[in-house]
Amino acid sequence: MSYRRLGLGFVVAVVGVMGFASSAHGANPGFLIGGSPVGALSASVGAEQVGAAFLLVPALNLEIRCQQFTVQEGKIESNIVAKTKILHEECEPLEMAGLGVFDDCHIVASAIDQKLHIAVSATFLPAEILTTNAPALLAENVVAIVTIASPTEECVLPEKNTVKGEVCVVIGNNNTVRPLRFSSNTIQVTCKPRTTLEGLNNELPTQTGSNFKDELRYGAQTASLDSTAHLFLTGAHAGKTLGVSLY
Spatial separation of the C-alpha atoms in residues 90 and 69, rounded to whole Å: 9
Can you give the residue ranges of every domain in the chain?
A: 22-245
> b/e per residue, 34-54, with b = 16+ CB within 10 A?
eebbbeeeebbbbbebeeebb
3-state secondary structure of 88: strand
Phi, psi for 167 (deg, rounded to 5): -135, 135
> What DSSP state is assigned to residue 192?
P
Confidence (pTM): 0.78
Residue 242 neighbours by CB under 8 Å, 6+ apart: 20, 21, 31, 32, 33, 45, 175, 176, 177, 179, 231, 232, 233
pLDDT tens string for the chain (247 positions)?
332 333 333 344 433 444 444 444 444 778 999 988 887 778 999 999 999 888 899 998 988 888 888 899 999 998 889 999 988 777 778 888 876 777 788 776 666 665 556 677 888 888 777 777 777 888 888 887 777 777 677 788 877 778 888 888 888 897 899 999 999 988 888 877 765 555 455 544 444 445 556 688 888 898 998 989 999 999 999 999 998 887 6
Q: Torsion angle, CA of 229/15/147/162, rounded to 10 degrees?
A: 180
